[in-house]
Amino acid sequence: MTIVMDTNNVENQAIEAKKAARKLSALSNEEKNEALEILAKELENNYEVILEANKVDLKNGEAQGFDSALMDRLALTKDRIYDFANGLREVALLEDPTGKINTSWVLDNGLKVEQVTVPLGVIGMIYEARPNVTVDATGLALKSGNAIVLKGGSNAISSNQKIVQVMHSALEKTKIPKEAVQFIASTDREATKQLFTMKEHIDVLIPRGGASLINAVVNNATVPVLETGVGNCHLYIDEKADVNKAMSILINAKTDRPAVCNAAETLLVHRSWFNSNKETLAKTLQDHEIKVFGDETVVKTLAGAVQATEKDWAEEYLNLSIAIRVVESVDQAVDHIDRYGTKHSEAIITEDAQAAKTFMSQVDAAAIYHNASTRFTDGGALGFGAEIGISTQKLHARGPMGLPALTTIKYLMSGNGQIR
């Protein structure tokens, strides 16, 4: 693997990827699966050199004073590398999303029309610290017949580079051209920016990471973007909510994994339910050491609650804090979500079927829950197999994105001289 030092090479890499994509799209499911198995085996066989490379990133991270969460995301172990390999094997077991005839018909003039699924072409993956994305995204891209251009974070550059080197050697033993996997080794920001506008060579950009990375891509890219991730998720406890369900779902949605995108960030509570159940709510929050930022009523009622600001309603905490607002009706809850939600996952707790129906039809989000935790918005939990991310946009793919999100369609028309 050549280390790329100037941005002209980024364009060359994208062109190489596009050429490889054409070859890759002609391979059979079996050929792609064989390649994934070889990739898996070679990652396992080379775990030691990958761990060596990982040490460089960890040392840099320490020197830069990264916090323990970031260090943990960066750190590789033999087990983690074997998990990457098994992830590739799981992807191989999934159905090939390409080459399917969705629908076909014959026009009156005899022209036969088929709508078939095909790979998108070249995927540009822009992501932050976790080196697992390098393997996971490559596996999903190759399985769906797509080439991939990887631009990982500078914190994991040494690990990512070694992983790609191992994968390139492995690909030489397969039918997949190794040019189908491109790694932008430059840590120059200009290199990332170049990816934003390479419409000729890259078919879609997928950013994976924090809000600022995602916004940078969305705001600057002319290449179409599959927006993922930010989840400012709400739980609405309705007037007729069952107390036990409400408390169990609140605790699960807030505390199970507070740093993930499908965790709850704001609790909206109907005033009459709040008045009847404030002691239970207060005790539950206290027992789980949840820090509360609330509106006026909440601050007056719940001991230790701090006055919420606009930022509390608008942003994810990703920790054990929650914003709480008392509302007068399901409509007011929907209005609040309309204003502050990120269209990810929203839940209503109620025994009132009509209120549930209103909430589910009026809230604009990828996933809307009645009497269940927002934590189920996840490709694995929903049975999609591996996921490339959770889309918070409305075009192309919404919610957890499995392999079909990495395909598009073609219309194939077969005739014998038809003209219009």
Contacts with a second copy, residue ranges (CB under 8 A):
22, 25-26, 105, 107, 111, 113, 120-121, 199, 203-204, 218-219, 222, 224-226, 242, 244-245, 248-249, 251-253, 256, 338, 356, 360-362, 364-373, 375-377, 381-383, 393-396, 398-399, 408-420
Q: What is the DSSP string of 161-176?
A: HHHHHHHHHHHTTSSS
Q: How far is CA 304 from the centre of its chain?
A: 35
- Residues 204, 123 contacting (CB under 8 angstroms): yes
Nearer to a second copy, 41 or 240 (CB): 240
- CA–CA separation, 310 vs 386, rounded Å? 36
Nearer to a second copy, 260 or 306 (CB): 260
Shortest distance in whole angstroms from residue 164 CB to a second copy? 25
Nearer to a second copy, 82 or 376 (CB): 376
Nearer to a second copy, 2 or 102 (CB): 102
Nearer to a second copy, 12 or 371 (CB): 371
Shortest distance in whole angstroms from residue 370 CB to a second copy? 5
Nearer to a second copy, 1 or 213 (CB): 213
Encoded tokens for 151? 């631009």
User: In terms of DSSP H, where are the helices of 108-220?
Assistant: 132-143, 157-171, 189-196, 211-220
Nearer to a second copy, 153 or 231 (CB): 231
Which residue, 327, 392, 374, 382, is CA-closest to 355?
327
Shortest distance in whole angstroms from residue 53 CB to a second copy? 34
- CA–CA separation, 344 vs 229, rounded Å? 8
Cα angle for residues 241, 359, 349 (degrees, 5° grid): 20
Q: Which strands sit side by side in the sheet containing 306-307, from one edge to the other?
A: 306-307, 291-294, 321-327, 264-270, 233-237, 345-349
- Residues 184, 217 contacting (CB under 8 angstroms): no
Shortest distance in whole angstroms from residue 371 CB to a second copy? 5
Shortest distance in whole angstroms from residue 242 CB to a second copy? 7
Shortest distance in whole angstroms from residue 334 CB to a second copy? 8
- CA–CA separation, 308 vs 292, rounded Å? 8
- CA–CA separation, 265 vs 288, rounded Å? 15
Shortest distance in whole angstroms from residue 20 CB to a second copy? 13
